[in-house]
Amino acid sequence: MELADRTRPGPFARRTIELGTYIGIRRGGALVAMTGERMRFDRFTEISAVCVDPALRGCGCAGSLITRLA
């Protein structure tokens, strides 16, 4: 929740992660990037809550996570 609170990816509450698979990247034990699935329809999936610590933006974390999730 701390990363989502700092990056404000849109609607994200404590139980949001129960809607699908969420993955992340940790550095030094801290979650620095994450993304997940929110809804699935047939062969389509909504990718949600793409968050990257502001200090790491531009390093490819979000792209790596989205590629892996897709």
Under CATH, which number does the domain 2-69 receive? 3.40.630.30
* Residue of 42, 49, 61, 46 lying closest to 17 (CA atoms): 49
d(CA 66, CA 70): 6
Distance CA(51)–CA(43), nearest Å, equals 24
**Per residue in 5-46, pLDDT tens?**
999 888 888 888 888 899 999 999 999 999 999 888 888 888
The predicted model scores a pTM of 0.84
65 pLDDT above the threshold of 90: yes
| pLDDT > 90? residue 52 | yes
Domain ranges across the chain: 2-69
